């Protein structure tokens, strides 16, 4: 790890080994600026670039007010940018020119980091799929017949992907309790979360040409934390036969910091063995997942700590499957893992699982009980990953508060 002249940052969750990318409105500005984070400070990359340090190659990418320009620039530029940021923050020769552009994180209003192109959500945690099967289909086999042959997914709604801090209005919709004769209409009574990890596409692919799983690092810039808010009652009534629709599309929250895949190289971990063997297009000579440790709080109580390392399908396989029919990737595409759930009870990534379909309420630190979310509840998903030399890579957090139905 390269030591920084910014004091107190070397052992922190945001050392020079992390350098997340985001967009923030900083004090005295109206316009959003591209930023990175070092320790508990935000570096205004827009202003650093404008000061002349960015050069002709990086300055145009850092002054657009969105990460889309950085995403579209591609892997060689991402590497160059990372090297440049590291130099600015570690070489004392830059200290005087960079210091004026550092701001306490508490003064930075982080906004949507990039414009989402397409949004796809997978279903790649075996334990989650088995739990959902056991809750909804107790009499049939645990996994759907296709589950170990392909990473199941669906296309979500890109336009309602929102940044952490955005309030979530409880959705209205139709629902039909299992024993009811007729459907009813009203606010969802089973509003839920899904703790997920999202992959942010930079480099597009060509329509008609699938992308190999090993090409993940060529196309994906980085990772965000995702809360895929879900109205279980709306979902249950609408999803046959075309899959999730209004039970999911009202909002999906992402963390404001995009963690570069480069920062997560020390967190790579092997995939669990896949049996039955998968088709060739899903095979990778060097398959990997990421050892990301998530933590979910509800009104401040830790309710779950889902381990991303337990995923059955890798992000590379998800990308390969997403494109195997020739569908192309676009800059700004977001594909999410699906709910991350581990083997232990307190590793379940949804309230559906934590309350076992609403049948087993769980207790928060203040003594109150929950099955699904109540109005006013605040959910936060945070995370970290192993970094170099025993350090940690902070993943930030994605937080949202439920408002009463409008």
Enumerate the active-site residues: 128
> From the CB of 291, what's the least distance to Mn ion, in Å?
21
- Rank residues 227 and 355 by Cβ distance to Mn ion and give the closer one: 227
Which of 26-34, 129-137, 143-151, 187-195 is the region at the interface with Mn ion (rule: CB under 5 A)?
A: 187-195
Structure tokens at 128: 């989650």
- Rank residues 194 and 353 by Cβ distance to Mn ion and give the closer one: 194
Instruction: Give the contact letters, 306-345, x = binds to Mn ion (CB under 5 A), - = no.
Output: ----------------------------------------
Contact 327, 172 (CB under 8 A): no
Instruction: Give the contact letters, 203-242, x = binds to Mn ion (CB under 5 A), - = no.
Output: -------------------------x--------------
- Rank residues 62 and 322 by Cβ distance to Mn ion and give the closer one: 322
- Phi, psi at residue 46, to the nearest 5°? -60, -50
- Phi, psi at residue 161, to the nearest 5°? -80, 120
Buried b (16+ CB within 10 A) or exposed e, 120-139: bbbbbbbbbbbbbbebeeee
> From the CB of 252, what's the least distance to Mn ion, in Å?
8
The dihedral formed by the CA atoms of 41, 266, 330 and 147, expressed in degrees to the nearest 10: -130
Note whether 353 binds Mn ion by CB under 5 A: no
In angstroms, the CA 10 to CA 288 distance is: 27
| Position with the least CB separation from Mn ion | 228
Contact 26, 46 (CB under 8 A): no
In angstroms, the CA 348 to CA 366 distance is: 21
> From the CB of 245, what's the least distance to Mn ion, in Å?
13
Task: Select from 194, 238, 333, 397 the one that contacts Mn ion (CB under 5 A).
Answer: 194
In angstroms, the CA 278 to CA 381 distance is: 32
CA neighbor of 108 nearest in space, from 51, 37, 11: 37
> From the CB of 344, what's the least distance to Mn ion, in Å?
20
CA neighbor of 113 nearest in space, from 50, 163, 48, 64: 163
> From the CB of 90, what's the least distance to Mn ion, in Å?
39
> Peptide bond preceding 9: is omega within 30 degrees of 0, i.e. cis?
no
> From the CB of 235, what's the least distance to Mn ion, in Å?
10
* Mutual angle of helices 55-62 and 75-90, in 10-degree steps: 100
- Rank residues 47 and 194 by Cβ distance to Mn ion and give the closer one: 194
- Rank residues 72 and 197 by Cβ distance to Mn ion and give the closer one: 197
Residues constituting the chain: 406
- Rank residues 230 and 391 by Cβ distance to Mn ion and give the closer one: 230
Tally Cβ neighbours within 10 Å of residue 286: 9
> From the CB of 336, what's the least distance to Mn ion, in Å?
6
Going by DSSP bridges, is the β-strand pair 33-38/21-25 parallel, antiparallel, or unpaired?
A: antiparallel
Residues of span 118-137 touching Mn ion by CB under 5 A:
121
- Rank residues 314 and 341 by Cβ distance to Mn ion and give the closer one: 341
Residues of span 69-128 touching Mn ion by CB under 5 A:
121
Structure tokens at 335: 């594909």
How many residues touch Mn ion (CB under 5 A)?
A: 3
Interaction site with Mn ion (CB under 5 A): 121, 194, 228
């Amino acid at each position: 790890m390269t030591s920084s002249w910014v004091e107190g940052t070397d052992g922190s969750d945001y050392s020079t080994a992390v350098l997340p990318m985001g967009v923030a409105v900083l004090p005295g500005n109206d316009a959003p600026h591209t930023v990175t984070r070092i320790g508990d400070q935000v570096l205004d990359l827009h202003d650093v670039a404008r000061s002349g340090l960015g050069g002709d190659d990086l300055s145009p990418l850092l002054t657009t007010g969105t990460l889309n320009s950085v995403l579209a620039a591609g892997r060689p530029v991402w590497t160059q940018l990372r090297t440049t940021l590291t130099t600015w923050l570690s070489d004392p020769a830059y200290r005087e020119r960079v210091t004026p552009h550092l701001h306490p994180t508490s003064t930075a209003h982080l906004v949507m980091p990039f414009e989402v192109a397409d949004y796809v959500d997978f279903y790649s945690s075996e334990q989650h799929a088995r739990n959902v099967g056991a809750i909804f289909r107790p009499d049939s086999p645990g996994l759907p017949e296709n589950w170990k042959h392909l990473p199941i997914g669906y296309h979500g709604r890109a336009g309602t992907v929102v940044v952490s801090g955005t309030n979530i209005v409880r959705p209205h919709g139709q629902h039909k309790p299992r024993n009811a004769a007729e459907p009813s209409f009203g606010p969802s009574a089973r509003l839920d979360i899904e703790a997920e990890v999202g992959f942010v596409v930079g480099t597009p692919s060509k329509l008609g040409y699938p992308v190999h799983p090993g090409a993940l690092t060529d196309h994906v810039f980085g990772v965000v934390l995702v809360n895929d808010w879900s109205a279980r009652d709306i979902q249950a009534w609408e999803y046959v036969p075309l899959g999730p629709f209004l039970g999911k599309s009202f909002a999906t929250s992402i963390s404001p910091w995009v963690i570069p895949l480069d920062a997560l190289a020390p967190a790579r971990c092997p995939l669990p063995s896949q049996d039955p063997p998968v088709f060739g297009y899903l095979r990778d000579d060097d398959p990997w997942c990421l050892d990301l440790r998530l933590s979910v709080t509800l009104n401040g109580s830790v309710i779950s700590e889902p381990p991303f390392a337990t995923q059955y399908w890798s992000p590379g396989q998800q990308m390969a499957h997403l494109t195997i029919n020739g569908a192309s990737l676009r800059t700004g595409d977001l594909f999410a893992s699906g709910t991350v759930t581990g083997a232990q009870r307190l590793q379940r990534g949804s309230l559906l699982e934590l309350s076992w379909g609403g049948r087993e309420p769980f207790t928060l630190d203040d003594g109150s009980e929950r099955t699904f979310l109540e109005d006013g509840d605040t959910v936060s998903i945070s995370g970290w990953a192993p970094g170099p030399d025993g350090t940690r890579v902070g993943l930030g957090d994605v937080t949202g508060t439920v408002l009463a139905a409008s």
